[in-house]
Chain A
Amino acid sequence: MGPSITDVFKEYWPIFLKGTIGTLRYAFIAVAGGSILGAFVAFAHLSKNKIISAISSGYANILRGTPLLVQMYIAYFFLPLVVPFLNNVDKEVYVLIALTLNSSAYVSEIIRGGIKSVDIGQSEAARSLGMSASHTMTKIILPQAIKNILPALANEYIAMIKETSLAGTFMLYELMYTRTILANKYLSWQPLFIIAAIYLILTVILTSLVKLLERRLSVSD
């Protein structure tokens, strides 16, 4: 069986800590970048222009309808061939591009859903007061949509924490990658339980924070 789980953790906790920080960091970059990109995709999807709307909904459908791991492989092996300047950057950038694009597809649906959840009467009231379309969006619709968007974005971050485990496949230093490091020290099973426990702790803590956030946001309704 080899050494116990506690012994492994006591000995190698700095590795797990570094992996945890890597996981949180990659997930954050993916969701933050995905939010910015996703906002554009969402507005394009809501556009009255049918072509723009179709392109953005196609974009979201492709990224949500194919496995993230396949997208990562494509980013890893294909992107450097077609985008030459990526040859000089760190390999983690390819993986992060895949994570960000993937996240943007989910975030765009979150933002679109949040905007559509605001009663149509709100924009009718604003427009009938003579408010411009852009003021109606920024002063009336978005401030109300954000209540639905923020908790869903936080949930997307939690989901992304688990998704980033795939990045270990490409030697990115995140939680799952610690398994590879410790497997070299003939520790086959102990790290897996530690890794699982850390993922669980992260998601449980963050999920309860989201619940708290949801309660806070609903107070003002």
Chain B
Amino acid sequence: MTDKLSPLIETIDLKKNFNDLQVLKGINEKIYKGEVVCIIGPSGGGKSTFLRCLNMLEEPTSGEVYFEGEKLDPKSTNIDIHRQKIGMVFQQFNVFPHLTVMENITLAPTLEKKVPLEDARKKAMELLKQVGLEDKANEYPRKLSGGQKQRLAIIRAMAMEPDVMLFDEPTSALDPEMVKGVLEVIRKLTDSGMTCVIVTHEMGFAREVADRVLFIDEGIVMEEGTPKELFENPKNERTKEFLSQVL
């Protein structure tokens, strides 16, 4: 297992091209256990691509990603085992519409980790209670609001008992009144000590929960620091410009 000294996730000179467009131009980052890292930056700057490279949903063009000391290889069958420990939450929720709320949560643990169905259901019920969805267990996702879908997506990932959670703009597709509920669930997670990497446009939230903030633009980490350093005293011109537009 990792400790404070060795990073949970490490990227080395991570580069990603989409055809002729270089989206990531070499990112070296270390994310440690228990850390909450928020990633901010303008659209198209590469922050989502960076996040998606961390679990190999996006295959890097060059460079490496290490997870718990092991190099991730999207072509090896091992990648599934690693992904089971890297939870991911998407902007568009991506809940499974043909499965009930309960089945959404229990499918992967029973299928891939051979958790007995009874245990998986018990665990799912606990998680549902934590996010206030216990009365929706047997509904299909179409009956849920956007905020409820996103909370379901979060606990679906949690049911795999991951070592880190990746959030890709988890509130960007939500109606404004739904944002708070989802952020509260994420905050509970960060408070519990879960390692989280969060791509977000919610600056107030990033400021509150992050141990460290990365400003990614033009495919590189332009600036990073504690929320206090980055939000109150940004040094990079691009960071200043970006923050003046969003704050």
B98 and A124 contacting across the interface, CB-CB below 8 Å: no
Residue B140 is within 8 A (CB to CB) of chain A in the complex? yes
Q: How many A-B residue pairs have CB under 8 A?
A: 67
Complex alpha-carbon distance, A86 and B98, angstroms: 45
Pick the interface stretch among B5-13, B21-29, B86-94, B117-125. Answer: B86-94
In the bound complex, residues from chain B placing their C-beta under 8 Å from that of A121 are 90, 92, 94
Number of contacting residues on B, CB 8 A?
Answer: 29
Contact A140 B96 (CB under 8 A): yes
A125→B112 contact, CB < 8 A: no
A217 CA to B3 CA, complexed, in Å: 51
Interface window among A128-136, A148-156, A177-185: A128-136
B57 touches A124 (CB 8 A): yes
User: Is B239 close to A, CB under 8 A?
Assistant: no
B112 proximity list for chain A (CB < 8 A)? 129-132, 135
Shortest C-beta distance, A169 to chain B (Å), equals: 44
Complex interface: chain B residues within 8 A of A143 (CB): 98
Q: Which of B64-107 contact A (CB under 8 A)?
A: 77, 80-88, 90, 92, 94-98, 107
Q: Report which of B55, B80, B90, B153 forms a contact with A131, defined as CB distance below 8 A.
A: B80
Judge if B108 is at the interface, Cβ distance under 8 Å: yes
The interface residues of chain A lying within 8 Å CB-to-CB of B160 are 129-130
A128 CB to nearest chain B CB (Å) = 4
Residues 193-221 of A, flagged 1 when their CB comes within 8 A of B and 0 if not, give 00000000000000000000000000011
The residue that A128 contacts in the complex, of B88, B95, B96, with Cβ under 8 A, is B88
C-alpha spacing A121/B97, complex, angstroms: 12
- Chain A residues closer than 8 Å to B33, beta-carbon distance: none
Find chain B residues with CB under 8 A from A129 CB: 83-84, 87-88, 108, 112, 156-157, 160
Does residue A91 face the partner (Cβ distance < 8 Å to B)? Answer: no
- Among residues of B, the one whose C-beta sits closest to the C-beta of A123 is B94
In the assembled complex, A139 has its CB within 8 A of some CB on chain B: yes
Complex CA gap A130/B85 in Å reads: 8
Complex Cα–Cα for A119 and B81 (A)? 24
Contact B156 A130 (CB under 8 A): no
Give 1 or 0 for each of B167-200: 1 = CB within 8 Å of chain A CB.
0000000000000000000000000000000000
* Count of interface residues, chain A, beta-carbon cutoff 8 Å: 19
Q: Please, which residues of chain B bring their CB within 8 A of the CB of A131?
A: 80, 107-108, 111-112
Main DSSP-derived SS at the A contact region:
helix
Tell me the smallest distance from the CB of A134 to a CB of chain B, in Å.
11
The answer for the CA separation of A219 and B90 in the assembled complex, in Å, is: 26
Asked if residues B156 and A124 are in contact (CB atoms below 8 Å), the reply is no
- Asked if A139 and B107 sit within 8 Å, CB to CB, the answer is yes
Min CB–CB distance A8 → chain B (angstroms) = 51
User: How distant is the Cα of A143 from the Cα of B104 in the complex, in angstroms?
Assistant: 14
| Candidates B57, B85, B92, B142; contact of A127 at CB < 8 Å | B57
Residue A6, interface by CB 8 Å = no
Could you say which of B96, B107, B142, B156 contacts A122, with CB atoms under 8 Å apart? B96
A125 CA to B83 CA in the complex, in Å? 11
Contacts of B83 in A (CB 8 A): 127-130
| Interfacial chain B residues near A139, Cβ < 8 Å | 107, 111
Q: Can you show 22 pairs from A to B with CB atoms below 8 A apart?
A: A119-B92, A122-B94, A124-B94, A125-B88, A126-B108, A127-B57, A127-B83, A128-B83, A128-B157, A129-B83, A129-B112, A129-B156, A130-B83, A130-B85, A131-B80, A131-B107, A131-B111, A131-B112, A132-B112, A139-B111, A140-B96, A144-B98
> 5 shortest A-B CB distances, which residue pairs?
A130-B84, A125-B94, A128-B88, A121-B94, A130-B83
Binding site for A on B (CB under 8 A): 55, 57, 77, 80-88, 90, 92, 94-98, 107-108, 111-112, 140, 142, 153, 156-157, 160
